[in-house]
Amino acid sequence: MIRQGFILLIALFPFVSLFLVAPSMEIGNVEYIVHTVGLTIILSGINVWLATTFAWWLLWTESRWKSVIEWLVFLPLFIPMLATLFGLYLILAEVGLIGTYIGVILALLVVTIPYSIRLAYNGMAVIGRPLLEQARLLPMSRRVVYVLYPLFSRMMRTIALFTTVILLSQFALIQLIGAGLIPTVTTELYQSYAGNNRSLALSNTWMLILFPVVIYFLLSGWNRWMVRMLKGRLQ
């Protein structure tokens, strides 16, 4: 009991800081919130789609290149993120994508996709090939809607959540690839911290913490509603 209490205390104690200073309630320019929401939706959608399809392919492929491709996809997990970012900066500068929304999305996709594929592949491997065998006979759209989505909606939620957290953690990436032209809640937090505006920095911290929470509950509700609706259609 004492051990359990101690572990819980350590896990929750830093949240005390949220109540040490009163957060600022002034929201003048909402551009950075719009950017953050936009990037979160686009990036989560792409990650869920690419990771699920790739994990499905990896589960079934008989290709002799399977292990090589598997390594290639998981290898970026072991490359320091900032090193990847420096290299991407050079590549994107060559093709003129620095300071653009597409450049930022591409860079964020590069750093998030290995985690998403890993989550998707682990999720599918747990269920295993024998149980999913029959779903292969269905056309792609019905397979996704009636089998993959209901089975893996939790996994998809986790991918979206992880993507959001990684996206919200990026200051250097968004600042360098976005050339300072694409403000997000993260860049605002850093600037308010640098400007010694504690209450504004705290309100941005609140936002950074609440973003994943809101996404978790929204996706949970959406998944529950969708699965109930799909079950109703099948009856």
Partner 1 sequence: MLRSSVALSILVSFLPLAALFFLGMEALGTDWGALLTDETWRDSLFTTLYVVSVSTIVSLVLGTWVARTVVNQRWRFTSTILKIPMFVPHIAAAYLFWLLFSGSNGFWGIESNERDYVTVILTYIWKETPFVFLMMIGTYEQLNRGYVETAKTLQLSPYAQFKHAEFPFLIKPLLDSTWILIAFISFAYEVPALLGVTYPKLIGVLAYERLSTGLYLEATEPYAVALIWTCFVGFGVFVSYVMTASVRRRIERGVRR
Sole window of 27-35, 148-156, 201-209, 224-232 interacting with partner 1 (rule: CB under 8 A): 201-209
| 86 binds partner 1 per the rule CB under 8 A | yes
In the chain, DSSP assigns E strands to none
**DSSP 3-state assignment of 164?**
helix
Binding string, residues 161-180; x marks residues near partner 1 by CB under 8 A: x---x--xxxxx--xx----
Under the binding rule (CB under 8 A), the answer on residue 124 touching partner 1 is no
Would you say 210 or 229 has its CB closer to partner 1? 210
123 makes contact with partner 1 (CB under 8 A): no
From candidates 22, 41, 82, 95, binder to partner 1 by CB under 8 A: 82
Question: What is the C-alpha separation between 188 and 174, in angstroms, rounded?
Answer: 11
Residue among 65 and 235 whose Cβ is closer to partner 1:
65
Distance, in Å, from the CA atom of 164 to the CA atom of 37, rounded to the nearest integer, reads 10
Residue 234 DSSP SS3 = helix
Binding site for partner 1 (CB under 8 A): 3-4, 7-8, 10-12, 14-18, 20-21, 49-51, 53-54, 56-57, 69, 72-73, 75-91, 106, 109-110, 113-114, 117, 140, 161, 165, 168-172, 175-176, 186, 189-190, 193, 198, 201-202, 205, 208-209, 212-213, 216
